Amino acid sequence: MGVVKTTRAGSGRPLRLDPFALPVRFATADAAADEAVRHVELHRERVMLRRDVRGMRMAVDLPVATFLGVALRVTAPDQEPSGSVSVVLEHRDPNLSVPLFAATGGDEVVAIWRAWAQVLGLPPLVAEPDGTLREPFARVGQVRTALPVDRRRSAIYWRRPSILLRRKPGRPGPDLKVYRGEREIIARN
């Protein structure tokens, strides 16, 4: 099991976990816990949260299916000195949400966001400035829906005649003979 040691909030060191190296253990900031630290153990099927609150040890074991999805959160520069981008495993209870990635630059954040959503089997979500979550793509169950796209011509389109793209299926002509009520004769050897 991979162990990632993360520093506390305010140290300037970004939080970065690899979605393809599960299970993983790491510590993250938790304002309600003693020493402001929460220990997280993340598997593909479950999440274990451990923290001390007023001297009492707590452990919460949650299936990944109870989480809403993997959310992409953008913090504006006016809230933090340089602004930040984070990927968070969102739960209905905000105290149970788990940060997965945090950085000041957003160069590869979309790839990391989609990778976490795919690995955990949860929908990708986008956090609005008011805190609400929404899905960026329309879905029906687990299938994303979109408008149909036009047929793409291949790189070697010049080798095929374009008339093949305009052909229509054949239709029976007006002089088609139909024989009803007759017995079929089959030749057998």
pLDDT in tens, 101-144: 887 776 788 888 888 888 888 888 888 888 788 887 766 666 66
Cα 40 to Cα 187: distance, rounded to the nearest angstrom: 77
pLDDT at 108: 81
Confidence of residue 6 (pLDDT cuts 50, 70, 90): very low
151 belongs to a structural domain: no
**Looking at the 3D structure of the chain, how many domains does it have?**
1
Paired residues of 72 in beta bridges: 87, 126
Q: Which of 70, 26, 31, 32 has its CA nearest to residue 49?
A: 26
What is the per-residue pLDDT across 9-46, written as a single tens digit (0 to 9) for each? Answer: 434 445 678 888 888 888 888 887 888 888 889 898 99
160 belongs to a structural domain: no
152 belongs to a structural domain: no
48 belongs to a structural domain: yes
77 belongs to a structural domain: yes
> What mean pLDDT, rounded, does the chain reach?
77
Confidence of residue 4 (pLDDT cuts 50, 70, 90): very low
pLDDT at 63: 92
* C-beta of residue 125 within 8 angstroms of C-beta of residue 68: yes
- Name the residue range of residue 35's domain: 2-136
pTM score, whole prediction: 0.62
Tokens 């011509």: give the residue.
153
176 belongs to a structural domain: no
The mean pLDDT of 161-165, rounded to a whole number, is 67
Confidence of residue 5 (pLDDT cuts 50, 70, 90): very low
